[in-house]
Structure 1
């Protein structure tokens, strides 16, 4: 399986601007640039998309792990907070902090944490990130 996204960038790094388009069309010429990445201008940025990908991947990996053991979540809510920080002449993504809140009938805390940790380590996005990954998981 191959998934694609395309970017068109015009101009320099600070004053230039770009658009992102995904194969599915969910993003279609979505604007991004210095102000959407480092300030608060509306639009997207690579870190936000990585956070969404990590939260989505993790949640689905957890759901599959639970399903294999006979559990079905009523709700899995995951936030991924991606940290971008200076490194040398550029920047690096140093961390993705996952916050999980879930309602899963008939599961105990220890089993829940086992599945959550497994999803944290084994979702494909976790595997591709060269960053510290943390998990704060709680049953509700």
Structure 2
């Protein structure tokens, strides 16, 4: 008879999925209607992720991670359930890239002081699991700007 494994709610994995879904929704809206107002994004991703697609010369220049900016010039933003593709301008060289959501390390919109940061979990049982870390900033209407608050879900994991 097989040993029954205790079931538990994996809040870290659920939060990870929700934050990736948030990025997908934001990019999907931009693909449909463009960037509203002053919004723009800095997206840092792991260039070693097996599903990342970028030109060899870009990979040679950024062998570990790369940050791209979606602001003034980008074309053909295509958002899927697994990731996004876009053509960006690198020194007058338009280059297509593909970034799966699982490769994203940070997603920041500095125009509204919003950011998400994902950090890999060091868990021997599940090498593919990541514990998300969220950084959310909301400016106050009057008075000083709030300091960044980083919420780590590691404290809730077993």
Fold match by TM threshold 0.5: no
More helix by percentage? 1
Structure with greater contact order relative to length (CA < 8 Å, sep ≥ 6): 2
* TM norm structure 2: 0.28
* TM norm structure 1: 0.30
